[in-house]
Amino acid sequence: MIRQFVIDLMFSYNISIDNIYGHYEMQSGKLQKKTCPNIDMHWFRNEIRKEMGQTYGKSI
């Protein structure tokens, strides 16, 4: 469900998968010791790539 939401936002705002980050991946998040979204973002981005390929026939 969250994957589809992110995909919808990507298409609506023309956001590349390379610009999808968790708070903890950003410098400000590191300084604030954020851990969210508490998932492996590399895995999440790969899951989005897979879903986009299956749903839209696109490779990002």
pLDDT at 37: 87
Query: Once rounded to an integer, what is the mean pLDDT over residues 6-13?
Result: 95
> How far is Cα 60 from Cα 53, in angstroms, rounded to an integer?
8
Helix segments in the chain, DSSP class H: 2-13, 27-31, 41-56
pLDDT at 58: 55
Q: What is the tens place of the pLDDT at every residue in 20-38? A: 999 889 998 888 988 888 8
Residue 12 has pLDDT above 60, yes or no: yes
Q: Is the dihedral of CA 8, 13, 18, 24 positive or negative?
A: negative
Question: Is the Cβ–Cβ distance between 5 and 52 less than 8 Å?
Answer: no
